[in-house]
Structure formats: C-alpha cells, structure tokens
Structure 1
Amino acid sequence: MWMSTFARFATRALSRAMACQALRPHCRPGKNPGHLPSCLTSVQHRGLQSVVLASQHASHQVVSHVRSLDEERLLEVEWEDGGQSLYPFTWLRDNCQCPLCTLQSAQARELLMCDLDIHTGVDTVKVTNDNKVSVVWPDQHTSVFDPEWLKKRCFSSAARQSMREELFLNDRYYWGSNLNIPTIDFHKVLHDDKAMLDWLLALRRVGVVCLKGAPAELGQVARLSERIGYHRLTFYGHTWQVQDKDMANNLAYTSKKLSVHTDYPALMFPPGVQFVHCLCAAMEGGESQLVDGFHVTQQLQREDPEAFQALTSLVINFTDTGSDYCDFHLNSRHNIISTDNEGQVNRINWNNATRDSVLDLPLHQVQPFYRAVKVFTDMMDRPENVVLYRMEPGQCSCIRTLHILYAIIKKESCKTWI
C-alpha cells in the first residue's frame, strides 16, 4: 500500500541522486553497477521541495505542430525540441480530461466503456493559444490535453520505461554476501521526512534496511508502520511476537532451524514488507540470514535455464493451518519464481515449511520440479549469496519480502508486516 503513495512523490530524478557509498552490488540486467547510499549517512539532494520544483521545470514541453493521421488513426505531435509522439485516437478519447469525462477531484474516469466508440475518428485537431492540444471528435465533443501530460504518456519505448521508473522505482541493486546493510536511525525515520524518504528508497532498491535505536519494548513496529500506512489485520492480529511456544502453530515459534524463506505464500496476496524488531537477543544463536532472491534467480537462469523455466511455469500449492487471533486454514497456488509479461522476475514465493503435500502436477513434471527446487535452494545456501548478521535489542530489520528471503536461526523477537 505505502509504495503506491510513496512512488508518486519520490521522483525518478531523486531516486537516481541517492547513490550509496557502502557496497558494490550486482545490478539488474542493463543497469550499470554503482555504489549504493550507505544510506543514509550521505544524502545528495536538497529536500523534497527543491526536487519537485526542478522536476516541474524540466518537464515543461512546447508543442510546435499537431496533425491527424487518419488512415493510421493516430494523432502526431511534434515537439519544439524536434521529437515526435504518436497517440491512438481511441486512447485519446478514452482519456479525455474534461469535467464530463473525468472526475478531477479523484482523477477518476467517468466515461463508461459502453459509451466509448473504439473506432472513432477525429474532426479537427489544433494547438491552442496557450500551448495545449485540442481535439474535436465527430460528435463535436472537445478534448484538451496539456503537453506535459501527453509527453509523459508517449507510447515510445523510452517514454514508457521512464514512466515505469517514475511510478514504480524499478531500479534494483542485486547483492550477495558482501552487502553492507543500509542503516538509519529509528527516531529520524519517525520524525524527519527526508530520513523517511531515504529509508523507503533504500528499502525499495536494496530490499533490506536496518533501523537502529528503537526502544526495546512492544509497540515500536506499530509506530513505524503508522508512519507510512495503516495496519492490516491478519490471522495473527495486527502485530505479534515470535518466540518459542509450546504447541506452536508456526515453525517460526520453535527453536528449530528455518531455511531462508519469503513469508506467507499461503496467502493469495503475500505481504510485501515485513518489520522484525528485536526485543531480547537469544543467549545462543539468534543470527539472521538474508538472501537476495532476485540475485539468485539471475544465477539460476544463467547456470540452469531448465530449472529456471520449471520454477517460473509450474504452479504449486502452499497451505497454513492453525489458531491464533482467529482460526485459519489458508490455501494458495503460486509459481515459486513469478515473472511479469516481459519475463522479468518480480516476486519469489518460497517457504519450505508451508509448501503443501498436495502437489498438483502431472506425474511427468514431479521429478523435474524437485530437481529445480533443489538446484534453487542449493544456490540460496551458497556462502557467497548469504548475509549473516545478528540483531541486538532495539534494532529493527525492514525487509521487502517480495524478493528477500529471510530466516532467524533462533528467535526471540517481535515482528509485524504491513
């Protein structure tokens, strides 16, 4: 939830300015390796207001000419800088910004699909005196578009990639055992907007941030989550303590060894972020293990494409049953490695403890599945892929469970997720 809000004010220019000093991570394909902000100790921007103003100034666009390409059913916009953009008639009519078609107070479309002519042509197009693009449709309805609005929504590959980065901050740093976990002061995050932004940017790009200096008492993860969003009630309650329990309803509530995992793949929509706040360190053990799942999937795709293909195509069952805040019996189906429509990995779903004994696969795919899982988990256990660290009372680990696999060797801590 918080990421959709955060990404709207954390501009692409700002995210690029956040360079870190502490490690040389592996970057996603096509990205140059670089230093990541040790975050949080050295920040290279001058505040949100200056960034927003700079972005607005840089985005000023001037239209030199527009014309309709009737056969192609496209509107061509020529920009003063010499560039060109093409916009389908249907898309323009669908996104008319007038008060009849868009509720401006909510930025919500009022035009119903049943009223949209997907084969519409245009009557006239022109550049207005105040540098806007005006389109008159065959029914004489008029749409007027701001040039900045149009330019950001250009259908070129470069413009679409730029918009994806601005909306979702997809730039990633992949890492192995050489990670120096970004660290920031807990109280600064609570009370300083700049520190909060540093924290969220690092969490988005690296996947893990350590907050230091939190009081070693219950309620701190609730304070932190309220800083950026609202609490989401779960079958464990809003927050819960992770400690050894008799008749444990979760393997995490025992002192048994856990393998690194993402939390709650038994949910249809697993959480994206988890907070783990250490209240009392274990006398023995207590180390936390972290693995960058996206980094390991790169290795898997390179070294064993057959295993990668199996884990991105085969869907398996996860389950979780017990009683806590309420009785629960959960079932879900996921790919262990989820990809988007462009084949990019966008989520890891792996928890050996809650992997169901129901394996809904044809017989001939069972052994290939086990082989692929074994290769993948062996890669995650490679020393060069594992970060091992120990939490002390008052520390809070913030983990993007979309792709960071996590385990505590022995647990006496409190955690929550939002």
Structure 2
Amino acid sequence: METGLLAFRVQLSKSNQTTAILNRNQDRENVVIHSRRAHNKSRGGCVSCKQRRKKCDERVPTCSRCLNKGLECTYIAAVKRSVRLVNNARTPTVAYPLWPGPCAPPVLTTSSYVQHTPYDLLLLDHFVHNVGAYIAGAEYHHTFTVQALDIAKEVPFLMHAMLAVASCHLQYTLADGRAYRMPEALHTQLASQGLRQAVSHMQAAKDMDSVLTASMLLNFLAFCYTDYQDEEAGSHQNKPSWQWLRISIGLRDLLMATKPFHHESIWLPMFVATAAFRFDEPPQNDLDVRLARFCGINSTTTATNNPYFDFYEQLGPLAVRKPSISYLRKYNHAIGGIDQYFVSLLEREDSKAMVLFAHWLALMCALAGGWITRRARRACWMICDILDGRLRDEERVLLVRPAEACGYPLGAEEPERDWE
C-alpha cells in the first residue's frame, strides 16, 4: 500500500490499514496447522477398486467397498496363482530316461542356452504322449513316438522340429501358453537350419528318415502357425497368405528325391497304405461333378491342358464324403496335387483355383482341434469373402459348404443347398 498500488477501488485510511494488519497477524497466530498423516501405499488392492480408482482396504476375502456394493472381489495375486496352478496341473510328469545319460539328445544336453530352453524335457514328453499320436494317427503312433524319436536322439534338427510342434500345441491348449512362443521360435529356427544342411548330405535311409520326418513336422507347423494378434478369422486381413502352402508343396519334391530309400524307411508302411487306400463310405453328394464342370474338366482333360486337374483328382473323392479325422492323411496327401503354378493362381485370386482350395479348407475346418483349424478357417473365410460378390447362380452354390465350414455369412439370398 505504501507504494501507491491499491488493491481496492477506494484507498483505506491510515488507521484502518493498521487495524487490518494487526487483525490479520492475530488470525495467523490462532490458526492450528496439522501435519499430513502418514499412510502406507499399497498396490495390492483388488481388481474392482483398481478399475474404479478407489482406495481398497485389502480385506480378505472381500474388501469393504466390494462388500457394500455387492461386487466380486478378486486380487491380482490370486488370479496369477490360479493360472499357475492350472498350468501346473496340465503339465505332464516327465518320466523319460533320456537325460542325463549316454544316449541323451544333443539338443537337451548342450551347455549353451542358445540351443535349448528350460521347457525342453516337458515339450518332448508332450510330443510323445499327445502331439505325435494326433499327427500320425493310431496306426502310425509308434513310428512317430518310438522310431522317429530314436533317430531324433542322435539328430538335433529332428529333435528341434519335435519340440517346435509341441510348443505350438501347448500355446493353444494351456490357459496361458505365451511362455512357449519363444521355445517355438527358437526350435523352428534351429530345425530349419539343420534341415537345409541335411538335405544336401543324404547318403542312407536313416538320413532320409530324419529329413522326411523333420519336413513333415515343419510343414505341419507352417500350416498351424498364424499371427498371435490376429484372433478372429478374416477380421484384420483382406487377403490370405499362401507362403505356408509354398512351403508345404516342397515336400512332394523331397519325396520324389528320396524314393530310392523308401523301401528301407520307417515310413514305408504309411507310403504303402496311402497308395492302396480305398474308401469304404459311399459318396454323399455330387460335388465332384459340379467342381469338374466349374473348372472345365471332362473325360479328355489332362494336367497338360488344365492347371486344376491334378488337384481336382485328389480333392474330388474327398469332397463327396463327410469330413472325418480318419481321412486326415488323405487330406494331407491331396496337397501333392498342387504345384507352384497353382499357388500363383491363388495369389492372383483365380476363381476356379480358389473354389477348389476352399473345399479342401472346408474339410480341414471340420477337424477337431483349434490349433490346426485356425489357419484353415481364416483362409476359407477370406476366399468366401472374395468370391461372394463375384460368383452367381449355380457357381455361387459351390460356396455353401466352405462358408458353413468357416462360419462365413453368405449374402441375404443364400443359395439353396441341394448337394447334401
């Protein structure tokens, strides 16, 4: 005030200024200042209070706020513990006399962490008791889990392939299988590297068996694998990727190159059985006739004048019958009718190639087991989405079975199903 700067429109008198200052000083002396009460900070509150940004008294089993509001009270530590207990309950007990020992697989005994993970024994046990039996079927379970395993004890890249497939399977079967992503990536890389080196050095039936078995497993893995973040079929991508198919059809060339050793192979019974396979079930529809007409195939057609012929020959007998896990080996064998040119037709979105392959995918979609049907559903969905607005009338009827298999909703005027 002494400088002439006024806080009010009217200047106070000298006496009033002095009185006001004295009163203000007296008020300050009478004010009681309380220090801030110390309290413990905790991050262990329940999930409900954390979401509502409220202080939780952390009472167990139910905090006061959840009790008053009738909310479910869950603590993060309890959730983590329950998931861990579920995973432990599903973890098989390893009882294999493989490690340590003179015949221990190299991949499990190396001192370098670059070559193995802490899960490897569990993965091996899971492959023998679960995955191997599923892939090979009841007839050839012994081949995968005993004969091929004996070879894998001495051939690291084959062991890596087995562990990679087991890691993939556990990611889909456990409540939280993310811990197996790193083992899958590591073992897939090591198996692929070893396989590339072994292909050029095959000199005996044993070499061929390790190469063929590892190739089968890696092809199976390529089909099962999809992007982890793309959970819903066709919802984040518009076009399917066919890189996995290019990998798979390479097995046909490998089978041809190793044919001189087949008579000594552990897979000889399967080769013979596949060649001599006969269907016991009669045809259920005329899809083979419809597909042939759509692709321009008749009695004079050959693979030379029609690029769809080879795959159609493999697919036709399967398409007219109900999908069955007992035909899985034939479904896989049908891929042998696909060459690189057919894949290029798929990449160019050729309607005939896509319709044929959609029916193969529909058969795969019907098999139990989300870990092998996920890619099939996604690819089948995308093909239906591409062709839905392109095909008309009788041609569009050919989309009904693939659409039903993958869950794709055809247009409002869904064609009549007269193939059942």
TM category (shorter chain) comes to under 0.3
Greater strand share, structure number: 1
Greater helix share, structure number: 2
- Higher radius of gyration, 1 or 2: 2
Q: TM-score, normalised by structure 2?
A: 0.26
Q: TM-score, normalised by structure 1?
A: 0.26
The higher-RCO structure (CA 8 Å, 6+ apart) is: 1
